[in-house]
């Protein structure tokens, strides 16, 4: 270790000793956890960062208290450096009720947002996209705060890594990207991961600085991180730092790492970061054998007592297994007033809702592809960029994973993002962020995620298999996401306002066939409709149709024809798939004794499956006939008019189903 340069030269003796104590704490703690796991005395998993102490301490020690760090499962010491306590750590490893995740996740899969550390999850490097959203929030509010996102070199092969770095570079966000290159992605060596001589050289492709540092030199890591953080805080954008280091253990506790060649291991062990730093401290007169031994004894005793204490703490109650899925809304909804004189399309109503909410609450902002001056693929955001500017109507690169991940990060930092998808068919790359970050943050970490993902869905416009899906069945399968499907302009505006004001992630599906085809006079002024409340679109006595979205209008057409035959049909428009208004469904079935569920989504494992099963199970004695479903066939959505019409349920299909029920 050479004499410290740059910002590291300004460190006080107390700071140097604090860094050393953190490094020793990480080494002793993670070695103890590794041994406990290997001996069968610790469940779950461990991902030791032993050998990477200099990188973890050096990089994060440069952050300030209100900055944010998003790491991975191997960044336990980085979290401790950021302020997470040993007590919080061990409570989580033992799955206790008072743990940061309340026992819902274990080992290092946690974050403590109040200490500035983001939730750790298994898919890597998801925290990159979330950290981008945090930086976006800081930038929008003109705060002098910085986000840091870290991962290993293996995670840099993912699309999420590229999307996040590219997006942050394009937007000039206050974020620092760090990579701890520990030579192996699980068992895959560097020469099978990338062809560049150094990962930091990739920064040239993003137009940002790239820095390679000795990841076993804590002061070099600190100096590089400090310079990058200072640059970001000044508004000069991101930096990519590669800390070249080596992990002493395998990928996880069960991995013997026998793929590492003995000569390679010996060479790296000779560069162990802790002895190197000890030599430096000794040269400054800050450390000797006695002080080193005393420090190690004190830390070991603290770790031992903390582990024993954590083991004795209370386990989570089984009664709480379904708790905390959603954050509770505390404000009351604004009730709709009388309808105005001017008719609005659904598209107009959605635009009006966005404009009114952005005017009412400066935290609300839009992000998505082409949402700015272009006004969006369907012109839903037309005029909003001109009124609110580029910081609140953010044109994003084609990067659905980072669009949704950034919405998560901005939301947990107090903003209210509304992310637009050009088509909901394009949601698939973002499902990781939606399912693993947005949907789990409140359940796992107690932090609400007030965000909306909205965009056009549905068939009927001859758009073919990649622009026509109805994804509500897939989305509703995953807990923690609210799903809204309006069928009228009035509902579209009121439900979107409700979605924006809800403290949870909401997917708002706008059937594009209804954008301009349905017009009505909507209530004047500010109003909202509560999520989870169905609408009886038509009253009747002989059969109930439960449906949503565009199928409401197809069902109304069928009901008009059935009326001519003397058959009275009640139509329940769910409006919200999650939470679903079971009370209204059951009440209608009790009234008519017959149920048909109509949907545009394919039938297997779908919303109609759930409605049919639950009504059959819980309202069996109210039924005078089997529950029927009218759905497309279980296939892809075709392009040709004749094929698409054969796929999408038509009024004739619904009439036939009602006739079938009436005959029983």
CA distance 233 to 230: 5
Q: Return the structure tokens found at 3.
A: 């004499």
**Computed from CA positions of residues 215, 218, 219, 223, in that sequence, does the dihedral angle turn out positive or negative?**
positive
Smallest CA-to-CA distance from 127 within 86, 82, 161, 96 is with 161
**Do 109 and 384 contact (CB within 8 A), yes or no?**
no
CA distance 160 to 127: 9
What is each CA distance from 529 to 351, 570, 573, in whole angstroms? 16, 21, 14
- Residue 617 belongs to what H/E stretch? helix 607-618
Q: Residue by residue, what is the 3-state secondary structure of 544-572? A: EEEECCCHHHHHHHHHHHHHHCCCCEEEE
Query: Three-class SS of residue 162?
Result: helix
CA distance 428 to 424: 8
The set of residues, in sequence order, having a beta carbon less than 8 Å from that of 644 and lying 6+ positions away, is 459, 460, 462, 468, 637, 638
Give the burial class of 480: count Cβ atoms within 10 A of its Cβ; 0-12 exposed, 13-18 middle, 19 or more buried.
Answer: buried
- Examine the residue annotation and report whether 553 is marked as an active-site residue of this protein: no
CA distance 469 to 474: 11
CA distance 414 to 610: 35
Q: Please, which residues bridge with residue 597 across strands?
A: 546, 629
- Residue 490 belongs to what H/E stretch? helix 489-501
Q: Tell me, what DSSP letter sits at residue 436?
A: I
Q: Return the structure tokens found at 39.
A: 């001996």
**Do 480 and 326 contact (CB within 8 A), yes or no?**
yes
Query: Three-class SS of residue 355?
Result: helix
**Computed from CA positions of residues 341, 345, 349, 352, in that sequence, does the dihedral angle turn out positive or negative?**
negative
**Catalytic site residue from 467, 478, 511, 636:** 467
Q: Return the structure tokens found at 205.
A: 């492709």
Place of tokens 């089997």: 626
What is each CA distance from 455 to 369, 485, 589, in whole angstroms? 11, 11, 32
Q: Tell how strand 210-214 and strand 239-244 pair up.
A: parallel
Q: Return the structure tokens found at 9.
A: 């030269």
Q: Hey, which residues are catalytic here? A: 467
């Amino acid at each position: 270790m050479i004499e410290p340069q740059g910002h590291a030269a300004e460190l006080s003796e107390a700071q140097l000793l604090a860094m050393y104590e953190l490094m020793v704490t990480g080494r002793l703690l993670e070695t103890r956890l590794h041994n406990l796991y290997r001996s069968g005395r610790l469940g779950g998993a461990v991902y030791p960062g032993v050998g990477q102490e200099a990188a973890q301490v050096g990089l994060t020690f440069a952050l300030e208290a209100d900055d944010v760090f998003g790491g991975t499962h191997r960044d336990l010491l980085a979290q401790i450096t950021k302020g997470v306590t040993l007590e919080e750590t061990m409570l989580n490893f033992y799955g206790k009720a008072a743990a940061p995740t309340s026992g819902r996740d274990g080992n290092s899969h946690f974050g403590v947002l109040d200490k500035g550390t983001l939730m750790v999850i298994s898919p890597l490097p998801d925290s990159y996209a979330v950290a981008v959203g945090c930086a976006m929030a800081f930038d929008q509010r003109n705060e002098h705060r910085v986000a840091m996102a870290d991962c290993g070199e293996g995670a840099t092969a993912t699309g999420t890594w590229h999307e996040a770095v590219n997006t942050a570079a394009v937007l000039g966000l206050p974020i620092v990207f760090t990579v701890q290159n520990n030579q192996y992605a699980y068992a895959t060596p560097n020469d099978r991961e990338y062809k560049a001589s150094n990962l930091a050289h990739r920064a040239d492709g993003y137009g940002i600085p790239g820095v390679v540092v000795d990841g076993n030199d804590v002061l070099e890591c600190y100096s590089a991180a400090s310079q990058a953080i200072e640059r970001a805080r000044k508004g000069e954008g991101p930096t990519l730092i590669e800390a070249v280091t080596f992990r002493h253990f395998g990928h996880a506790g069960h991995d013997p790492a026998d793929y590492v060649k003995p000569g390679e291991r010996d060479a790296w062990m000779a560069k162990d970061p802790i002895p190197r730093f000890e030599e430096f401290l000794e040269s400054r007169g800050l450390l000797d054998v006695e002080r080193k031994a005393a420090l190690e004894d004190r830390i070991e005793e603290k770790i031992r007592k903390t582990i024993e204490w954590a083991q004795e703490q209370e386990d989570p109650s089984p009664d709480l297994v379904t708790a905390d899925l959603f954050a509770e809304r505390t404000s009351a909804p604004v009730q709709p007033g009388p309808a105005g004189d001017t008719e609005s399309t659904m598209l107009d109503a959605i635009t009006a809702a966005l404009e009114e909410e952005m005017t009412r609450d400066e935290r609300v902002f839009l992000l998505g592809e082409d949402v700015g001056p272009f006004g969006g693929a369907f012109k839903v955001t037309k005029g909003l960029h001109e009124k609110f500017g580029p910081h609140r109507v953010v044109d994003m690169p084609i990067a659905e994973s980072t669009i949704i991940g950034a919405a998560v990060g901005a939301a947990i930092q107090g903003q209210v993002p509304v992310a637009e998808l050009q088509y909901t068919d394009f949601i698939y790359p973002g499902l990781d962020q939606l399912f693993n970050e947005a949907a789990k943050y409140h359940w796992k970490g107690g932090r609400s995620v007030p965000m909306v993902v909205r965009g056009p869905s549905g068939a009927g416009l001859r758009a073919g298999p990649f622009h026509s899906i109805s994804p509500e069945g897939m989305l509703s399968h995953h807990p923690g996401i609210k799903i809204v499907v309006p069928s009228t302009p009035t509902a579209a505006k009121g439900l979107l306002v409700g979605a924006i004001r809800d403290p949870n992630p909401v997917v708002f599906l706008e059937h594009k066939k209804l954008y301009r085809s349905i017009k009505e006079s909507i209530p004047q002024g500010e109003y909202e409709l509560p999520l989870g409340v169905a609408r009886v679109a038509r009253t009747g006595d002989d059969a109930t149709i439960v449906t949503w979205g565009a199928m409401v209008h197809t069902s109304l057409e069928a009901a008009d024809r059935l009326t001519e035959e003397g058959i009275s049909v009640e139509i329940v428009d769910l409006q919200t798939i999650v939470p679903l208004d079971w009370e209204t469904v059951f009440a209608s079935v009790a009234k008519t004794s017959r149920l048909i569920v109509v949907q545009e989504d394919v039938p297997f494992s779908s919303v109609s499956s759930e409605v049919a099963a639950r009504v059959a199970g819980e309202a069996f004695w109210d039924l005078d006939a089997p529950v029927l479903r009218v759905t497309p066939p279980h296939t892809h959505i075709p392009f040709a008019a004749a094929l698409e019409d054969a796929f999408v349920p038509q009024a004739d299909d619904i009439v036939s189903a009602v006739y079938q029920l009436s005959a029983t």
